[in-house]
Chain A
């Protein structure tokens, strides 16, 4: 079999893989809410930091804000 067929099969398979990945992600509702996850992502960082700092330190930060 010529190499062209092999190459084409590979390229179409890769394209199909991404296409199916796209359909699956749309179906799972990933694009229904495109805003909240972007905010939520930032919280988790802050939360970890918060866990490390002591309570007194935190109350000190509050009034400055």
Chain B
């Protein structure tokens, strides 16, 4: 089969022509210019303010919208809707079974999309990390040295927005798409084309955000607060388009996950047998579907304020900047848990494997995930304690914020009890899981100071809060992300990652992560504010320590990248089908997983955490009826 495919393979030039990334980039650039000149030619003469500023918002918006449409058309996303309009019957696009080209085009294989996400998000994660390095370089000295003050703000905004936007899909994108259908015994996602669309929208969004530097950047950080956003350069439009596209992608991703999990579970997979990772995906998806549309709507209103002279958020013209702040955080705080919950789920999924014990308190763990999902809607105004909101609101939001530590604590209890008297194997994924507990504990404890109004008044907007959320998001999500990479990438690629390099990566990352962010609690207490390019001379030692640690942290991540390239492209040590002796269904399949996942649809008879118990068949023996998925 492979030989025949190889002999029938078209020459390179022929393979480059068609609906793929190359065509998408060409049409994307063309669409961009069409939008830019279209706005100037058609709309420009009718609007006075076009003459007042050289850059103008409408041109930027229409250019990028044109670019996105061209990009998606180049990938072939319009083909199917157009075919349906022409009367063709509904169909599923055939999956491409081999070749690197499928990773650079619209592919409906959920495993390909998962790997696309892994590399795509990884790319933007490293760009966000580069921006962090530049920020720390600038802060080596108390006074400005490399970047103008406005550019420093843009760097901070680019780092924060990229990380917060891209990493929302950091787990669900690669691992959710790849693993959820397999874990529930399905052969595909409910909406394969939408699944692919969510990935390519995210890639377009990332490019839009980075090109803000050609339009003066944006000064608002990742929150995009008005009235500053109303006054900002056209680079602000890139922020709006980025986050709006991310919001659309998140909404579709969440809907697809929910539909898949609810409707496509294999026989026997009851809710109480669902892997805890799938529960984490389900709760995160629920937050995405409910929160992300608020973001898209908010940014649409802001876009109208900047282009069509509406005044939703212009206080002087009947609008309210508080409206923006509230709407943003109605999205923004669930967003924090969209980042955190997949980390909870991964840690709880991996602990039983490496402790060789069943997951302790499965139902309690699920209750923890659902409790956080529910309570995350009731806390958003703790971000606005010092904004001048009605003081009577403060006690409620203070208490609701502190209440969320209870379901979060469920995760800790289940994790600790699973480890209790376990036969723990300190493999790389397990090390990252254990570090997650340490980091997230510090993040949670420091969060108490920010949820309490009296202490928040002094710590809000300082490096203390910055250190806090890096402990929860980088210490939580990113450590879990790496645990997942070391755990599942052998399954996804068929090649084992180098264990020794992995351990060096872990220890250097853990050490320098803490060395970077722990001193920032002190810097915050000493009064260093976020998003300010200068600081008092007396804080230079702390800042230099942090900067050097951050550079070492960056080097640790480069070591990971080296490990990835070395293991997958050079060493190529074949991965066993079940290197971790896991009972989860994905590890009962060959590595990498075959195109159609299962020859026969499995029938589940237990959850996947029966370590130390009599073996129970997870997959039905051959001969069971294969349903169509």
Decide if A and B are genuine partners. Answer: no
**Chain B residues in contact with chain A, CB under 8 A?**
none
**Chain A residues in contact with chain B, CB under 8 A?**
none
